[in-house]
Amino acid sequence: MYIGAEMDLLNGLNKKQKEAASHDTGPILVIAGAGTGKTRVLTHRIAYLINSGKARPGEILSITFTNKAANEMKERIGQLIDYDIDRMWMGTFHSICVRMLRRDIERLGYEKNFVIYDTDDQKNVVKTCIKELELDPKKYNSSTIRSIISSEKNNYNSPDKFISENYSNFFMRNVGDIYALYEKKLKICNALDFDDLLVKALKLLQTNPDIKEYYQDRFKYILVDEYQDTNNVQYNLVKILGKREDGDSNVFVVGDDDQSIYGWRGADINNILDFEKDFDNAKVVRLEKNYRSTDVILNAANSVIRNNYNRKGKELYTDFEGGEAIGLINTDNEKEEAFMIASDIRKEFENNNINYSEMAILYRANAQSRALEEGLMALGVPYKIVGGLKFYGRKEIKDIISYLMLIQNARDDISFSRIINLPKRKIGPKAIETLSQYASSQEISMFEACYDVNQLGMTSAATAGIQKFVEVMELLMVKKDALPLSEFIEAVYEDTGYEKMMHEDQSIEGMSRLENIQEFLSAAKDFEERYEQNSLEDFLAHVSLLSDTDKTDETEKERVTLLTVHSAKGLEYDVIFVAGLEERTFPIIRDDGADDDLEEERRLFYVAVTRAKKRLYLSYTNERLVYGHHEMRAPSRFIDEIPKEYLDKPVSSAFSKNVKRSSGEFDEFFRGEMSFNRMFKSESFIDEDIKIIDVYDDIKDEIIERPSKLKSDKLTTGDKVRHKAWGIGVVVSLSGEGSDQKATIAFDQKGLKTVMLSFAPIEKL
């Protein structure tokens, strides 16, 4: 290193980026707007600290939100400086906590070879608990209860506290009993769920002063990416590690309060808004120069997000002046919307030479993808969906992983139950149930219970099958420490009989599953070669901690990407289509109309807009099929918050310009013109987190012009009417005047509904 070498590293940064990266000591908050180069600042900051001698790699803790981001940052740092950075702790909160727990979890009464249960494993444990407590599985939904347990853990509520707080509520008290049994089972299995990784690590630091001091002394500098997405436990982890008793707090957090979109899963925007209160004398640097989008797109984004109150405040700007106006697409229904979007994608591809891989369709709820897929297929536009069944969620991969998890930790009952009779070993459900009951009564694992199988009164075939299974597993447990990782996994695949079972299936699906297994073996080999710490427990932790983004198949090329706005965060495309921009679709309006919910919806829209680099399209429909019913829709308020000079005039579908076609007529046209006979089936669904309200919002004439469905002077109280989706009903009351007149109608099957007469698809009988 030569004098000034550390400053040479910063020459490529702009003034604000350089100010942040070269910050000396003390806490600092970097407000990094979309496309302003926050990863560049983080990597240069770390390189600067090492190259200037302020810290050795092992004295730096860098926390990201995906393993993919951590690997990218390591590669970039390696290109900036010639240092061995493997000693640096860089990874997600969960992976960092795993390292801490592997070292000291025995202080909390667990063994170091604990396994990590993913979401499916957790649901299976919950289902087992529901069954053992003899509760109705239809009433006690495993997914819902798993979410409740997760929330309680992140709020530091123990099962006893939860039961005490909900004792007068019969249902919730039973949920508390499930929670208590769930925790007991995890402890018996020496297993942790994802929430435990954070909660147990925090408890370790809070209850063991020597461990806390060890990490505080070790990490001279702490850097946290995406700070706006931290939840309560993550916030406390940063605080306990970063606030040293000597007063030094070299905590460097980067985030964007305007992109805080995970409140529904526990993220607290106040963590970033209150940073200066939590860390005295904190410096604040704003990165506002955007290197991604055109001036038009940024001005639109700035105009919308200004309507939020809970924000630090910033204005994105760019050197890319001008840009094309934002396209507006207005159609009658979601089928026409899909066709129009697909048509515009074809035009961008054919006329403007935009590759399909540089275009994406964003939507608020996964349910919207169905119609969009059909539209793309009809016009022959290739596409891929982010959020489908991921590689590590496929059955054959989960099976092999379960074998590995049981070998790593013989007390893992969930993995045991999954593979004890896979391949078939004549061990039926009754035998497994007997094992489970015996293990529960003795408070031992099911694998341990196998050693007493001769005492359990099973059939000779089941007894022999269990004994053979134990022999195979014991041999593999020995091989685990004798073979390299990839060879060991191949041995598991062969010795358990799983390979033979796979080769017996000669169907196309079977061959596909074989290819998946081969890819898994390749992944193990790659892990073995890339990482110095490549034991089985390291590999299992690596697989368990992969996020949805990390697992996305990147081999797909030249395809339009379909994904939710949440999944799109951190990505960018030349052309973006935001579909379904209607009230109650985007934004989703809850019953209580909470301001916080609306502000998060607006931040979500801001994220969607700022994914676009060159061209942005906003699409909305006049009617949408929801839960099998056609509901009228008003354009999203977010469109109205964009100044008109940045918007094109709405382009209406050819199907609705001159004549209003029914959905049936549109289907017939589509099938005839496109020769696509499997299009537009009647199935409809929507995300669980979307709650649709029955009463229509007020719709003003100036927002959208549509012909009246029924003249107000032709309807009186007591009249019988027929609604297109809700059937026959009786008018109970009328209110309002002119085009704002509403009718409250009692429908035979749907109860009371309030509709706008100028829009509702009703006729007088």
In angstroms, the CA 694 to CA 692 distance is 7
Among 118, 121, 152, 225, the active-site one is 225
701 as an active site residue: the answer is no
Give yes or no for a contact between 220 and 60, defined as CB atoms under 8 angstroms apart.
Answer: yes
Give yes or no for a contact between 435 and 446, defined as CB atoms under 8 angstroms apart.
Answer: yes
Give yes or no for a contact between 336 and 653, defined as CB atoms under 8 angstroms apart.
Answer: yes
Which residues lie closer than 8 Å to 113 by C-beta, 6 or more apart?
A: 190, 408, 409, 537
599 as an active site residue: the answer is no
Among 226, 256, 334, 601, the active-site one is 226
Taking alpha carbons only, the member of 619, 642, 31 closest to residue 297 is 642
Helix (H, G, I), strand (E, B) or coil at 26: coil
Helix (H, G, I), strand (E, B) or coil at 331: strand
Q: Which helix (H) or strand (E) segment is 123 a member of?
A: helix 119-132
Taking alpha carbons only, the member of 753, 735, 734, 737 closest to residue 745 is 753
553 as an active site residue: the answer is no
Among 122, 259, 318, 552, the active-site one is 259
In angstroms, the CA 366 to CA 350 distance is 28
Could you give the C-alpha distances from 548 to 120, 192, 276, 576, in angstroms and in order? 14, 20, 32, 21
Q: How many residues appear in the chain?
A: 765
Among 611, 615, 637, 742, the active-site one is 611
Tokens of 279: 């860390």
The full DSSP string for 349-395 is HHHS---GGGEEEEESSGGGHHHHHHHHHHTT--EEETTS--GGGSH
Q: Which helix (H) or strand (E) segment is 102 a member of?
A: helix 93-104
Give yes or no for a contact between 378 and 676, defined as CB atoms under 8 angstroms apart.
Answer: yes
Whether the bond into 27 is cis, omega within 30 of 0:
no
In angstroms, the CA 449 to CA 439 distance is 6
468 as an active site residue: the answer is no
Taking alpha carbons only, the member of 423, 596, 563, 598 closest to residue 499 is 423
Among 39, 119, 434, 549, the active-site one is 39
Question: Cα angle at 237 between 35 and 112, to 5 degrees?
Answer: 115
Q: Which helix (H) or strand (E) segment is 406 a member of?
A: helix 395-408
Question: Cα angle at 64 between 586 and 110, to 5 degrees?
Answer: 110
Residue 629 buriedness (CB in 10 A; 0-12 / 13-18 / 19+): middle
Q: What is the DSSP letter of 136?
A: -
In angstroms, the CA 233 to CA 213 distance is 19
Q: What is the dihedral angle through the alpha carbons of 467, 471, 477, 480, rounded to the nearest 10 degrees?
A: -140
- In this structure, which long-range contacts are made by residues 445-450, counting pairs with CB atoms below 8 Å and at least 24 apart in sequence? 445/188, 445/189, 445/410, 445/411, 445/412, 445/413, 445/416, 446/413, 446/416, 446/417, 446/420, 447/406, 447/410, 447/411, 447/412, 447/413, 447/416, 447/473, 448/410, 448/411
Could you give the C-alpha distances from 290 to 52, 298, 477, 557, in angstroms and in order? 28, 8, 54, 27
Residues forming beta bridges with residue 632, ordered by sequence position: 623
Among 16, 18, 38, 753, the active-site one is 38
**Catalytic positions:** 38-39, 225-226, 259, 611
